[in-house]
A and B are shown apart, each in its own frame.
Chain A
């Protein structure tokens, strides 16, 4: 893969984060992120994968600026971030749509917050609703939509804001298998067309490898980056890609790493 000369789009510098929990009258500290450093180039698609509790969701929120790290910082285009900003947006696992707003109004929401005038908002929103394939559903309310459709509305909402970096927190896990594959294809198509930088969290090894240029494997307790795997499968990818030998090799490799991680945590548990 070509290494570009420009500075990395997104740099995560030595992030630390501890969470506290009350357990029988005592406070217990959990090191959720321990010395996390990662560099993402412009236009790159990075997957993050790891067992539960490895801090991947927390990391995503730190990148977006929703949570402050105890130590370390996040740099976008060389500048340290200070809370959420217009150059990043998140697609949540739980969709995060507002039930009292129609599809159109949900997609417009971010633009509304920015103070974009109504005409302009509407135009942008309609454009992105069409882009995710939901034309005709503008006046539907979330409760009238299926899970896959709701997720697409969430995605349209993010696209409407045109952020440089799109962060996705297990966006397809709340959706059935078939819809999932369709959404994966659509996401890759959109990514290819719009050349956004994407950080994509998932539980599924297959999904991680299929979608990404690079797979970051994280371990739990403490949350840390165990390994980064470059995925050099050719693009554009299709259903066929999943059955190639190359895919199987990468998958096997990733699986081994994960197994090692899980065995390690089990040992830690038993101590």
Chain B
């Protein structure tokens, strides 16, 4: 590059750096405004309505130190992970069957889609009556919510990839088992990751709903208890923790997703 060009490039680099810093500053300022507003509002409203921000910080420290938070988080995570594990298992199996065997698809798809379309909360009472009141119904709810993105994504994976990848293998004389192992399985993984990412989000919703219902253990249980006791400072702690867990898990899955496979189009499910 000529010297003039190098100079111009330096100026451009400086401009971009400034923009990045400005954006970060705006974000920090924005959150700060909220926190300050929270603190001020907390002073002017009765305690049972809203506690000032610093009270929640104290509560956070307190609850961490005395172990309540960790115990609740642990209990919640237990349920979530168990639920997600089951969802993965069931989801992959059903997704594969639906995608691979057309007749199974014809038979089962209406029920799967119907269940997916039903607001899952409607099944909560039934589930709790069947599974009891402790951990089992919570896991069941998580599964009910988390399993569908996985089924849908695996199904999409099998169906889309099916033809392009199957033909070469079949023409080379691969057996059914070989095809499942060497062609379908590796090709499915990106779709699995996408489904898992969506399942995490939905699973957490299921977790909280389940814990509301039983109100005994876990972060959801803490939340309900604090709210009903008007503990407005403590109340935000489980919420924040849930948000952090959700964000952390989703980020983890996104990271895994990118690491395992560069992404191709599957569920254009930007939201959830």
Contacts and interface: CB of A to CB of B under 8 A. Distances in A.
Q: Which of B1, B2, B6, B12 has the most CB of A within 10 A?
A: B12
Interface stretch (A27-35, A125-133, A228-236): A27-35
A167 B6 CA distance: 33
A26 B8 contact: no
Nearest to B17: A27
Contacts of A18: 5, 8
Contacts of A20: 8-9, 12
Interface string B8-22: 111011001000000
Nearest to B6: A29
Interface in A1-56: 18, 20, 26-29, 31
How big is chain B's contact interface, by range? Answer: 10 to 19
A27 B9 contact: yes
Nearest to A18: B8
Contacts of B5: 18, 29, 31
Nearest to B2: A31
A27 B5 CA distance: 10
Contacts of B13: 26-27
Nearest to B5: A29
Q: Which of A18, A26, A27, A31 has the most CB of B within 10 A?
A: A27
B239 to A, nearest CB: 39
Contacts of A27: 9-10, 12-13, 16
Contacts, number: 22
Nearest to B16: A27
Contacts of B10: 27
A187 B8 CA distance: 41
A25 to B, nearest CB: 9
> How would you classify the secondary structure of chain A's contact residues: helix, strand, loop or mixed?
strand
A24 to B, nearest CB: 13
A31 B2 CA distance: 10
Nearest to A20: B12
Interface in B1-60: 1-2, 5-6, 8-10, 12-13, 16
B52 to A, nearest CB: 44
A28 B6 CA distance: 8
A264 B13 CA distance: 30
Interface in A84-121: none
Nearest to A30: B5
Contacts of A31: 2, 5
A29 to B, nearest CB: 4
A26 B16 CA distance: 11
B248 to A, nearest CB: 28
Contacts of B12: 20, 27, 29
Nearest to B13: A27
Interface in B175-223: none
Contacts of B2: 31
A124 B104 CA distance: 58
Interface in A224-253: none
Interface in B127-164: none
Contacts of B8: 18, 20, 29
A29 B5 CA distance: 6
Contacts of A29: 1, 5-6, 8-9, 12
A91 B234 CA distance: 63
Contacts of A28: 1, 9
Contacts of B16: 27
A27 B1 CA distance: 11
Nearest to A31: B5
Nearest to A28: B9
A20 B10 CA distance: 10
B11 to A, nearest CB: 9
A271 to B, nearest CB: 11
B119 to A, nearest CB: 33
A29 B2 CA distance: 9
A30 to B, nearest CB: 8
A70 to B, nearest CB: 8
A20 B8 CA distance: 9
A31 B8 CA distance: 10
A23 to B, nearest CB: 10
B95 to A, nearest CB: 32
Contacts of B9: 20, 26-29
Interface of B: 1-2, 5-6, 8-10, 12-13, 16
Task: List 10 tightest A-B contacts by C-beta distance, closest first.
Answer: A27-B13, A29-B9, A29-B5, A20-B12, A27-B9, A29-B8, A27-B12, A18-B8, A29-B1, A28-B9
Given A20-B9, A27-B16, A28-B1, 7 more contacts: A20-B12, A26-B9, A27-B12, A28-B9, A29-B5, A29-B6, A29-B8
16 contacts: A18-B5, A18-B8, A20-B8, A20-B9, A20-B12, A26-B9, A26-B13, A27-B9, A27-B10, A27-B12, A27-B13, A27-B16, A29-B6, A29-B8, A29-B12, A31-B2
